[in-house]
Amino acid sequence: MKKTLFATPQDAEAAFYEAFVKRDLEAMMEVWSDEDDSYCVHPGGARISGVENIRESWRGIFAAGQELRFSLRDSQHIHTMMLAVHSVYEHITVSGQSRTPQPMIATNIYQRTERGWRMVAHHAAAAPASVRSAGSPEPATKTLH
């Protein structure tokens, strides 16, 4: 199967979230690198490494059938010639739920390949309470690392 060419990391990221919303496993895997050193961390989950394991994790998420909508806010990007790191706050709406889930902080890492930009890592975790209540992060007063 021929993979879509993503000309920019932003194109790959848009395709990632579109596939997520549509629960389209094939479109999701189009975004991901074919390299087995790719990894994914879903909120509250362990690190999942390797293309087939990543595929199975998305298959399970999509099988749950939740209709999600994403609003990305407060994006920060670091771009080099071969690598792009995007840190975003994912504000998620779940169809049929009156309560809005807490935002997630996601780090999406893309690598330039001979077939365009591909995701090599996605790590999402629950945002702290200050983001949930105010909509934007507060500076940390104390950090562990």
Q: Structural domain of residue 38, as residue ranges?
A: 9-128
Q: Is residue 58 part of a domain?
A: yes
pLDDT digit string, tens, across residues 26-79 = 999 999 999 899 999 999 999 999 999 999 999 999 998 777 787 778 889 999
pLDDT tens across 5-17, in order?
Answer: 999 999 999 999 9
Quote the tokens at residue 67.
Answer: 């209709």
1 in a structural domain: no
Confidence at 140, pLDDT banded by 50, 70, 90: very low
* pTM for the full predicted model: 0.84
Q: How confident is the model at residue 129 (pLDDT cuts 50, 70, 90)?
A: confident
Q: Is residue 17 part of a domain?
A: yes
Mean of all residue pLDDT scores within the chain: 85
Assess if residue 2 is contained within a domain.
Answer: no
Rounded CA-CA distance 119/126 in Å is 21
The CA R_g of the chain, rounded to the nearest whole Å, is 15
Q: Is residue 93 in a domain?
A: yes
Higher pLDDT, 123 or 100: 123
Q: How many domains does the chain have?
A: 1
* Domain membership flag for residue 53: yes
In a domain, 138, yes or no: no
**Domain CATH number, residue 22:** 3.10.450.50
